[in-house]
Amino acid sequence: MTKRNPTRAIRIGRTHIGGGHPIAIQSMCATHTSDVDETLIQCEQLREAGADVVRVAVDNQKDVDGLAALRKLTKANLVVDIQENFPLVEKVAPHVDKIRYNPGHLHHLQKDRPIADKVGWIARVAKENGCAIRIGVNCGSVAPEFLEKYPDQQDAIVESALFHCDILDRIGFTEYCVSLKDSDPAKVVEVNKRFAAKRPDVPLHLGVTEAGLPPDGVIKTRIAFEQLITQGIGDTIRVSLTVPNEAKSAEIAAGRQILDDIEHGRFRSVPDFGKGLNIISCPSCSRVENEAFVNLAMQVKEITAYAKEHKITIAVMGCRVNGPGETDDADLGLWCGPSTVNLKRKAVVIGTYGYDAVLARLRENLDQLIGGRS
């Protein structure tokens, strides 16, 4: 096995990442945390499948109450993503082992408060509660000031992460790791390499976001992980797959398989996703607007298979929170509402259709796109 980067070890509940510890595997419950019974079942399924860290979603006070109850019932190392609502940290930190914040979401609330001040406060709360932090930078939501300053999106992603590391370093908070994610494995490789070259001491959480349905989602993730982990980069991983709720442990199984293959030198010859049709889809979570989302993603894959030779990206997202933004860069994008699906061409909205009707409109637009290029 390749020598790993000399990252410092950080503690996440009962486990450690970095500092030579085995690469940890993470997954996420797709349940509403307010439903303690369902969340506990999924949490334990993931833990039994080998998840070292389990993420749960918290969107409101009922979820906070559910989290407090869950904490007493499971030994899983829990993490919450505070999304756009950073003041939530105060409520969730007593019940979790790690907090994830996205630097690109901190500007939404308390707009006049300096970012460094917000981060300092998050770190203080985390420290008081023995929590680690993940600075999670994401291609679809890079902080606007970095996108303005760095026209190259990859520079913006890396510089944003470095800036936040610097804030935490200056206040002496060391229990943090970083993730730099994109739906394109080549970009994931590039930004993680650039970051690791500048901060080899910071533990990295690896992942290809919106990797999509298996087997493509696993293959895309494998492409990135093989190239990074063989160069000593990566201390914890998540394989994000669009799978039904009851099959979430497939993410853990895929992660274990990839790590085992890399450790034993079994590298796979993989297709170049930059050349043909590329379908990206989110793994779905408690925010998903309609349970039909996973089925929709499968149908999109099925009815567009005829276009596999065309270099076209189709994005399928499960909710209104991330859907509108994360479909902007795709040639064709679909994001779900409770009973309708919004169809887009790049950032332009084509229309809103029922779950069944949208497929015919997608097909029409795909044909037009292909016709316009030929």
Which residues contact ligand SF4 by CB under 6 A?
A: 282-285, 287-288, 317-319, 321-323
DSSP string, 10-49: EEETTEEESTTPPPEEEEE--S-TT-HHHHHHHHHHHHHH
Residue 61 dihedral angles phi and psi, to the nearest 5°: -60, -35
CB of 234 to ligand SF4, least distance (A): 22
Could you give the residue ranges of the DSSP H alpha helices within the chain?
36-49, 61-73, 89-92, 115-128, 144-149, 153-170, 185-198, 216-229, 250-263, 293-303, 323-326, 357-373
Nearer to ligand SF4, 18 or 103 (CB): 103
In contact, 176 and 133? CB cutoff 8 Å: yes
CB of 212 to ligand SF4, least distance (A): 11
CB of 323 to ligand SF4, least distance (A): 6
Nearer to ligand SF4, 204 or 288 (CB): 288
Q: Which residues make Cβ contacts (< 8 Å) with residue 223, sequence separation at least 6?
A: 185, 186, 189, 208, 270, 273
Angle at 258 between CA 74 and CA 221, to 5 degrees: 95
Nearer to ligand SF4, 129 or 290 (CB): 290
Nearer to ligand SF4, 178 or 315 (CB): 315
CB of 132 to ligand SF4, least distance (A): 22
CB of 281 to ligand SF4, least distance (A): 8
Nearer to ligand SF4, 188 or 319 (CB): 319
Q: Which residues make Cβ contacts (< 8 Å) with residue 195, sequence separation at least 6?
A: 158, 161, 162, 178, 180, 202, 204
Nearer to ligand SF4, 287 or 345 (CB): 287
Residue 59 dihedral angles phi and psi, to the nearest 5°: -115, -15
Nearer to ligand SF4, 165 or 343 (CB): 343
Q: Tell me the two tokens of residue 334.
A: 């679909």
CB of 184 to ligand SF4, least distance (A): 17
Q: Which residues make Cβ contacts (< 8 Å) with residue 55, sequence separation at least 6?
A: 26, 27, 28, 29, 78, 79, 80, 81, 100
CB of 222 to ligand SF4, least distance (A): 21
CA distances in angstroms from 189 to 6, 154, 236, listed in the order given: 18, 11, 15
Nearer to ligand SF4, 185 or 283 (CB): 283
Alpha carbons 333 and 327: distance in angstroms, whole number? 5
CB of 371 to ligand SF4, least distance (A): 30
CB of 318 to ligand SF4, least distance (A): 3
Nearer to ligand SF4, 241 or 312 (CB): 241
